Structure 1
Amino acid sequence: MLAFYLSLIDTPEDRNKFEILYQKYKQLLFHLAFQILNNTNDSEDVVQDTYIKVIEIIDKINDPNSSNTRALLAFIAENKAIDLYRKKKKRNVVYFDERTTRDTQQDVETVVLNSHAIANAIAKLPPKYRSVLILKFGQGFTTEEIGNILSMSKENVKKTIQRAKSKLEDALGEE
């Protein structure tokens, strides 16, 4: 797949930059997409769509190893995964992984309802709250790193995370 992507890029410098991005972040992007979609095939599609988008903006990425680049790729993947989740939700498509299908029918329904409720609640959060939650808990950034990425003070990040968690709890309580 990497060879296909590289064939879409004009300059050798951009090809080298893209190869670093691909090797360094493909697992992270898959993991992030899988957290939202809970489906391997859809998560792989999101990673591919993310890298297509990266090719479009490769000239704007200066340092493939910076935390800002990591956050940018994660943000793109998150939004693509949420878009796909919403698209699938409109069609009422529900996937079951192997572990789920071995459970009892009641357990299956509970797992599906809970995962959809959480993903839906996160998707409905304002972007500011959604971003800090995903950066903190989905990707493991520290509050200081999140502050640098989002240009916020450490204290503001902590308060935003607290508010985001509260909004998420409220949203889950309503459903």
Structure 2
Amino acid sequence: MLFLSLIAEMEPPQKDTAEKIYELYGSKIYGLALQFLKNKHDAEDVLCEVLIKIIENIDNFVDIDSTKTASLIVIYTRSTAIDCYRKRKRRFKHETLPSFEDEDGELTEIELPSTESTEGTVIAAESSKEIRSALEALPARQLDAIKLIYAMGYSYKEAAKIMGITESAVASLIQRGKENLKKIMGDKLYEYLG
């Protein structure tokens, strides 16, 4: 596996981190990819790609056991699986977009990006169940972009690299998310924002 050969070439602190991530999350990454793609070979490809992305961004993985790390790995996996699905879809035009089990074990149909959220809304989401449920109603890619920028504090450039898209695509996801939140919450959104 390419990932293991890349680990062998790393220096001790990063090498230890990469090995721990592989031990802790390797089977989870594969399981999520397999659940989404329903194909062992594609899931193995996604596993390799995600692990390579992790190595390329190893400095972002300071606390391996944190929920931030787990969320970041889920985002990497979901983004990579969606990219793999799109490539496969070009080859097989009649497939339908499958559902994906999120971190809470709930099945969610994956939608292509079309929404975003405001910075104030994301901050308010920490204390508001209603806003959280509205955020969860957003398409996965929009929610991922919002989490990376507002909840996890990544720059647009970093979020773009993590998601495997351009900075302008991240900005577009954020903008569409804001619009969708306004549609979902209406005037209540402005009440929460004060």
**Matches of 1:20 and 1:128, distance apart in 2:** 33
Gaps of 5+ in 1: 95-112, 130-149, 168-175
TM-superposition CA deviations, 1:13-53 (whole Å, max 9, x none): 11111111000001111111112211011001101000101
* Counterpart check, 1:68 vs 2:56: no
* Counterpart check, 1:83 vs 2:83: yes
* Counterpart check, 1:160 vs 2:135: yes
Q: Cα distance 1:163–1:66, how it changes in 2: closer, same or farther (>3 A)?
A: closer
TM-score (norm 1): 0.60
Q: Cα distance 1:164–1:78, how it changes in 2: closer, same or farther (>3 A)?
A: closer
TM-score (norm 2): 0.55
TM-superposition CA deviations, 1:48-102 (whole Å, max 9, x none): 00010111110222111111011111111111110010011011178xxxxxxxx
Report the equivalent of 1:41.
41
> Which residue identity lines up with residue 35 of structure 1 in the other structure?
Q
Report the equivalent of 1:7.
8
**Matches of 2:33 and 2:17, distance apart in 1:** 23
Q: Cα distance 1:163–1:85, how it changes in 2: closer, same or farther (>3 A)?
A: closer
Matches of residues 73-152 of structure 1 in structure 2 within 5 Å? 73-92=73-92, 116-119=96-99, 122-126=110-114, 152=125
Superposition CA RMSD, Å? 3.0
Q: Cα distance 1:93–1:15, how it changes in 2: closer, same or farther (>3 A)?
A: farther
Tell me, yes or no, if the aligned pair for 1:82 and 1:123 is still in contact at 8 Å: no
Gaps of 5+ in 2: 101-108, 141-179, 181-194
Tell me, yes or no, if the aligned pair for 1:46 and 1:77 is still in contact at 8 Å: yes
Tell me, yes or no, if the aligned pair for 2:29 and 2:74 is still in contact at 8 Å: yes
Tell me, yes or no, if the aligned pair for 2:50 and 2:80 is still in contact at 8 Å: yes
Higher-helix-fraction structure: 1
Tell me, yes or no, if the aligned pair for 2:50 and 2:77 is still in contact at 8 Å: yes
Q: Secondary structure at the match of 1:62?
A: coil
> Which residue identity lines up with residue 79 of structure 1 in the other structure?
S
Q: Secondary structure at the match of 1:124?
A: coil
**Matches of 1:127 and 1:4, distance apart in 2:** 39
Tell me, yes or no, if the aligned pair for 1:61 and 1:69 is still in contact at 8 Å: yes
Q: Percent identity?
A: 26
Report the equivalent of 1:136.
none
Q: Cα distance 1:65–1:159, how it changes in 2: closer, same or farther (>3 A)?
A: same
Number of aligned pairs? 125
